[in-house]
């Protein structure tokens, strides 16, 4: 995923798009006993607020294309004064520089999205108004990553599908 525990790319480390087939196969192999390594996908609210320091078990962090879409949406919010818009544009640029390409919402994520929506319905909740969060959860599941968020309740009912870690 190309970033260290703080969310920034390691010095001299090439940015990677995500887990390739070789890395996915290697991740499925048994390794030596010890702490379980966790890959984490940051929810948009964590990316915006910044300052998240990952615990030791989180070895890689990434952002996804859905979060980039939410950040771009924030740039076209009506009523923004020019100074606030300039600040937001700078923040989005810095985030893109720190994380590189976002993990995509692809066909595998689309399959998990269907399962996630089913789980939301089964928990008695509605997916309406939560589509971006549920798509982020699907990307995390497709890449074998946990979600790090300030809003754990947004992902209630998904515990059997994707691990959710509080950023607080």
Domain total in the chain: 1
The pTM assigned to this predicted structure is 0.75
Q: Which two tokens stand for residue 64?
A: 């996804």
Q: Identify whether 5 is part of a domain.
A: no
Instruction: Write out the binding residues for Mg(2+).
Output: 43, 133
| Residues of the chain where predicted confidence (pLDDT) is lower than 70 | 1-37
Q: Identify whether 2 is part of a domain.
A: no
Give residue 60's domain range: 21-166
**CA dihedral angle for residue 73, residue 76, residue 79, residue 85, rounded to 10 degrees:** 100
Q: Identify whether 80 is part of a domain.
A: yes
Q: Identify whether 12 is part of a domain.
A: no
Supply the CATH number for residue 28's domain.
3.40.50.1010
- 143-147-149 Cα angle (round to 5): 155
Q: Identify whether 91 is part of a domain.
A: yes
Pick from 98, 101, 13: which is nearest to 47 by CA?
A: 98
Instruction: Write out the binding residues.
Output: 43, 133
- Summary count for the chain: helices (H), strands (E): 6, 4
Tell me whether strands 38-42 and 58-62 are parallel, antiparallel or unpaired.
Answer: parallel
In tens, the pLDDT along 33-81 reads 445 567 999 999 999 988 778 887 888 899 999 999 999 999 998 888 9
Pick from 57, 67, 74, 132: which is nearest to 100 by CA?
A: 67
């Amino acid at each position: 995923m190309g970033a260290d525990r703080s969310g920034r790319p390691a010095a001299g480390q090439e940015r990677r798009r995500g887990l390739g087939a070789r890395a996915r196969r290697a991740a499925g192999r048994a390794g030596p006993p010890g702490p379980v390594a966790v890959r984490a996908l940051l929810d948009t609210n964590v990316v915006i607020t910044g300052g998240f320091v990952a615990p030791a078990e989180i070895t890689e962090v990434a952002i996804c294309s859905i979060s980039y879409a939410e950040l771009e949406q924030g740039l076209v919010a009506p009523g923004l004064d020019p100074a606030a818009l300039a600040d937001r544009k700078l923040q989005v640029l810095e985030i893109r520089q720190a994380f590189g390409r976002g993990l995509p919402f692809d066909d595998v994520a689309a399959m998990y999205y269907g399962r996630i929506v089913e789980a939301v319905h089964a928990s008695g909740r509605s997916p309406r108004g939560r589509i971006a969060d549920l798509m982020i959860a699907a990307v995390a599941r497709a890449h074998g990553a946990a979600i790090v968020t300030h809003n754990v309740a947004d992902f209630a009912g998904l515990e059997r599908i994707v691990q959710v870690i509080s950023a607080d």
